[in-house]
Amino acid sequence: MEDFQAEKAVVRAYYAALDAASGDETAGIMAEFTSPDYLWRGYHPFNEIRGAQAVAERFWAPLKSALTSLQRREDVFMAGANAMDGNDSVWVVSMGHLMGLFDAPWLGIRPTGKIAALRYCEFNRVENGRITESAMFFDIPHLMVQAGQNPFPPQTGAQLVQPGPLPHDALLFQAQPPEEGRRTLAAIEAMLADLGQWQSDLSLEDELARTWTRDMLWWGPTGIGSTYTIERYAKQHAGPFRAAFTERSKTRHLCRIAEGNYGGFFGWPNFTARHVGGFMGMPGTGQTGEFRVIDIYRREGDKLAENWIFIDLLHFWKTQGVDILDRTTAISA
């Protein structure tokens, strides 16, 4: 099995150049590292963008103007072969926070002049020394909360600036034993097999205990929040979520990888479900909504111990007829 070091080197060099570039320099830097037909998938309202120039102009330059002295605070870095295409493609993943001084408006969100941290996770497909496609999700509502513009009702979990993995060992700059990655992928796929059923003879807690450690940590997005232990996760997210939806589709991913004790996936969307009421404290719409999700996992033994979740909630609520970003920034203006 490949060690993915060449692909990692491309992404590390790309990030070093991108992070050092001014907003005006970003397009040129991106063009050096990406393919001419580069596809970038981002959190709503950015969605799909083609080409380095357009990504730089629409996302990176405005963000760098808003969050000055921007720095990347990385908690997870890994790579792997994509299990969803027969291990044909290699993807490199980075997760952490983009931190800066919130000095100018961004997407209608008011600047604070203080430190702000935009949590992010990015999957990059590397082919022949170039990045050909990316999926970059970032928690815009988390930034809104930091600016005093909370767009959602009270959440069931806790609102936090999320830490990295408990062992602080997820920057996998060196090659990892292939068998460890296979164990992690197997743990993720076992969890997905249980999750996709939504019906079981077991209690929810007993079902979760099949694939999660008892002291699991679920680092959820703003609007849902984070929760700790199987008992609280069942009460504060999994149970309420299942009660709020019906007609859940099968899970489908564009990429699923693992390396060492870490792994993750994303979909576009991952699944659909019909909202019958109660999700995030909102009334049911009866409409089917799309869930675009990135999940990153840490394995401990043969079970999952930590999970960082990025859900494009702005896109989901848009599919329900609610433009959260426009409504919140207009009210707060």
As a CATH number, domain 5-146 is: 3.10.450.50
Helices 5-20 and 26-33, axial angle in degrees (round to 10): 170
Distance of CA 328 to the CA centre of its chain: 22
Mean pLDDT confidence for 98-117: 97
What string of DSSP letters covers 103-170? -S-BTTBPP-SSEEEEEEEEEEEEETTEEEEEEEEE-HHHHHHHTT---SSPPSSB--PPP--TTS--
pLDDT value of residue 299: 98
Q: Are 53 and 68 within 8 A, CB to CB?
A: no
Mean pLDDT confidence for 290-297: 98
Mean pLDDT confidence for 296-317: 98
Please say if the pLDDT value at position 7 is more than 80: yes
Asked whether the domain spanning 178-332 has the same topology as the one spanning 5-146, the reply is yes
pLDDT value of residue 331: 67
Mean pLDDT confidence for 53-82: 98
- Specify the fold of 178-332: Nuclear Transport Factor 2; Chain: A, (3.10.450)
pLDDT, tens digit (0-9, with 9 covering 90-100), for 75-96: 999 999 999 999 999 999 999 9
Distance of CA 272 to the CA centre of its chain: 17
pLDDT value of residue 171: 98
At 256, list the tokens: 């699923």
Q: Are 285 and 320 within 8 A, CB to CB?
A: yes
User: Average per-residue pLDDT in the chain?
Assistant: 95
pLDDT value of residue 333: 55
Q: Are 228 and 218 within 8 A, CB to CB?
A: yes
What pTM value is reported for the model? 0.96
Q: How many CB atoms lie within 10 A of CB 303?
A: 17
pLDDT value of residue 8: 98
Contacts of 241 (CB under 8 A, 6+ apart): 279
At 331, list the tokens: 């009210």
Please say if the pLDDT value at position 196 is more than 80: no
Residue 106, strand partner residues: 109
Mean pLDDT confidence for 168-191: 97
Confidence class for position 311, pLDDT limits 50, 70, 90: very high
At 131, list the tokens: 């990045």
pLDDT, tens digit (0-9, with 9 covering 90-100), for 212-238: 999 999 999 999 999 999 999 999 999
Q: What is the residue extent of each domain of the chain?
A: 5-146, 178-332
Q: How many CB atoms lie within 10 A of CB 185?
A: 21
Distances (CA, A) of 31 to 54, 79, 91, 127: 11, 22, 19, 15
pLDDT value of residue 329: 81
Any idea what the Cα angle at residue 94 is, between residues 155 and 296, rounded to 5°? 45
Q: Helices (H), strands (E): how many in the chain?
A: 11, 15
pLDDT value of residue 160: 87
pLDDT value of residue 195: 81
**In the chain, what is the greatest distance between 2 CA atoms, to the nearest angstrom?**
58
Mean pLDDT confidence for 128-154: 96
pLDDT value of residue 332: 60
